[in-house]
Chains A and B, each alone.
Chain A
Amino acid sequence: QKEVEQDPGPLSVPEGAIVSLNCTYSNSAFQYFMWYRQYSRKGPELLMYTYSSGNKEDGRFTAQVDKSSKYISLFIRDSQPSDSATYLCAMSRDWGAQKLVFGQGTRLTINP
């Protein structure tokens, strides 16, 4: 079993829809949770990060962590075609840890 599981999709939704992306994990030691966005033929870029359980909002994006269920989510409101990309979750055990464990990534397409 992989440490981090993420449905690879693909996921296709109409413009303006609310998108929900999810990851589950098995290692309860993970405390820092990140979402990366990767456009085609580019490297991943950090979108958001959160610590422990709770919500964090940044514009149209909300990251949610439920440590009791070992489940994290990324919500995108009012989705735009420019949001079309692959979204990867990533996790680490402590703030100083440099080693990240990534999910497989979910390929998202927003249709105009």
Chain B
Amino acid sequence: DAGVIQSPRHEVTEMGQEVTLRCKPISGHDYLFWYRQTMMRGLELLIYFNNNVPIDDSGMPEDRFSAKMPNASFSTLKIQPSEPRDSAVYFCASSPGTGGSSSYTFGSGTRLTVV
């Protein structure tokens, strides 16, 4: 099992550009989560999906952020246009839905820098 796979590992982009982050969850996991981690705010939930359907997007900071899950094995988080304050580490996590709150598996994250 390769775990949760995120790409790219690092992304440096200029302000105003579109950024797309990608995630492949663990096969068989019904839930997928996008988190953002910064020194100031810690780990914040942006959005999560159940069976490819967005359940709670209340953490998405603003309309510049969008997330999709076209199938059970792939999700994207898009920022358009990007701003320097979006610089953070973005994590994807997945869960099988059983085993409750203890069953999250995180990816290694994408470190985004917007200059």
Contacts and interface: CB of A to CB of B under 8 A. Distances in A.
A43 B101 contact: no
A45 B109 CA distance: 13
B34 interface: no
A68 to B, nearest CB: 21
Contacts of B108: 41-43
Contacts of A42: 108-109
Interface of B: 4, 31, 33, 39, 41-45, 48, 50, 56, 91, 93, 95, 97, 100-102, 104, 106-109, 111
B45 A103 contact: no
A73 interface: no
Interface of A: 6, 8, 32, 34, 41-46, 49, 88, 90, 92, 94-105
A105 B48 contact: no
Interface centre among B48, B100, B107 (most CB of A within 10 A): B100
A43 B50 CA distance: 21
B31 A98 contact: yes
Q: Looking at chain B's contact residues, is the secondary structure mostly helix, strand, loop, or mixed?
A: strand
Given A32-B101, A43-B108, A98-B33, 9 more contacts: A8-B42, A32-B100, A32-B102, A41-B109, A88-B42, A97-B100, A97-B101, A98-B97, A104-B43
Contacts of B39: 8
Contacts of B95: 98
Contacts of A45: 106
Nearest to A105: B42
